[in-house]
Structure 1
């Protein structure tokens, strides 16, 4: 079985770009968020005590079943030496990943929170004729209700943010590395060298002028065209926020990873 690692972290923070770059390396497979995280969560649920037949399943069997999901999903169609599975849930499953893949590492993409909220709102406004799955295809609401919705504990941003903190401050933080979006678009080779060093792989020279990744069909079905779109060239392009100033200020002090005083477990931040 290939080496299994994970991409997780905050939405709209460069995970698709990171995956698109990593897959330029012929040894590596990486992609957008896929079904494995959901399959694992569903199996954990069905193998719990809520199922009367769970009495016949011991922990060794649970572990084999869950590893089997990865082994069967990443079968002959993926002849790579290194696999990155992407899902927001992995930061909330650090203990499980430690049990299933003791050598596996988690790369969490992060970004200044106001710009994540701005990025989501920009997508919604750009696709005014296409209600988004992010908000259950609802057509009402305002920028304020949408910001509240994605920031709550079960929202697109709030859940991922809380999971990130769980991983950052938890006992398995040594398996975690944070990649800042701002660094990724400004110094992509530095980020990729750090990723390879973290997982123990040789570095690879990437092409930052010709990046390819196609998820148009998925994005259209999700009612959010452009959700996983990336430009063919890595670049940092300043822009004006579409958020009202009070919403922007609400989130601008949330980048806890930039405070070395709280990084008690010495998580690597690039």
Structure 2
């Protein structure tokens, strides 16, 4: 039986770990936190390019077979589940090649109002006050303004993912892209998960949104100096809180949720839930 491959991508702190934790309640599915596959995929692409002096012996047929085999072989070892979701923010930049390798694959991009993404990262930093985070290259000190500038850089945690998402959203393979808003996932998880199953063409599954568990990320988060990065609350529900960002920083990102802008929606047929 050929395994079905799908992908989870999008913005950080926007529910990808929560979505994976819910999906894996279904015994037919495997989903996890951000893993090594996309990075290996990217490296393999580079090493099969003209950078390699032996690339004259590597055809596009070789490239296609090796890239496809990388993903399939990894999950042949990882899980017996017939349906797999691989998670990484890089996938939004790879839609064109994924469309050829896995024509039936869906990419679910998790999104969230951008100021609250920044707020969520800053909360993690303050919670782990004794451990510098890999998010900021393990550098201690600095102000919230410096941290936010770092996040928003083109290769920063938020900046890269945001640009990758826009590339996918306004690209030519939007039929394979679904935007799942964090606000929908936590306030109406039944509707959110039904939309996911309909999008990938699989039978719906009755999930337990009162007892969600995810224990895979603790050691990774500790090593990254960011304990709690992949924590998931047992009950799926929205929370109301005041932002800890200074007002000017919150305003800086208040209009950046482009997928909610009517003019953006007119230029794409991406499914937004």
Decide: shared fold, TM above 0.5.
yes
Alpha-carbon displacement from aligned partner over 1:67-96 (angstroms, at most 9, x marks no partner): 111111001441112100000000011101
Partner of 1:265: 268
How large is the Cα RMSD of the aligned pairs?
0.7
Q: How much does 1:266 deviate? A: 1.5
Distance 1:206 1:142 in 2: 42
Q: How does 1:201-216 map to 2 (within 5 A)?
A: 201-214=202-215, 215-216=217-218
Partner of 1:102: 103
- Does 1:155 find its partner at 2:189? no
- Does 1:118 find its partner at 2:119? yes
Q: How much does 1:140 deviate? A: 2.1
Alpha-carbon displacement from aligned partner over 1:202-221 (angstroms, at most 9, x marks no partner): 00000011111011111001
Partner of 2:82: 81
Partner of 2:19: 18
Alpha-carbon displacement from aligned partner over 1:164-221 (angstroms, at most 9, x marks no partner): 0000000001110000000000000100000000000000000011111011111001
Q: How does 1:27-176 map to 2 (within 5 A)?
A: 27-176=28-177
State the 4+ residue runs in structure 1 displaced beyond 6 angstroms: none
Distance 2:262 2:77 in 1: 43
Partner of 1:226: 228
Partner of 1:237: 239
Distance 2:20 2:173 in 1: 23
Alpha-carbon displacement from aligned partner over 1:199-252 (angstroms, at most 9, x marks no partner): 000000000111110111110011000000011111101011111010000000
Alpha-carbon displacement from aligned partner over 1:46-85 (angstroms, at most 9, x marks no partner): 0110111111000000000001111110014411121000
Task: Please say if residues 5 and 105 of structure 1, whose CA atoms lie closer than 8 Å, have aligned partners that are also in contact.
Answer: yes
Distance 2:97 2:90 in 1: 11
TM-score (norm 1): 0.99
Distance 1:149 1:197 in 2: 37
Q: How much does 1:146 deviate? A: 0.4
Distance 1:209 1:92 in 2: 34
Q: How much does 1:112 deviate? A: 0.3
Q: Secondary structure at the match of 1:128?
A: coil
Q: Secondary structure at the match of 2:151?
A: helix
Q: Secondary structure at the match of 2:227?
A: coil
Q: How much does 1:99 deviate? A: 1.4
Task: Please say if residues 178 and 267 of structure 1, whose CA atoms lie closer than 8 Å, have aligned partners that are also in contact.
Answer: yes
Q: What 5-or-longer segments of structure 1 have no aligned partner? A: none
Q: How does 1:191-206 map to 2 (within 5 A)?
A: 191-206=192-207
TM-score (norm 2): 0.98
Distance 2:175 2:20 in 1: 22
Distance 2:180 2:238 in 1: 15
Task: Please say if residues 174 and 265 of structure 1, whose CA atoms lie closer than 8 Å, have aligned partners that are also in contact.
Answer: no
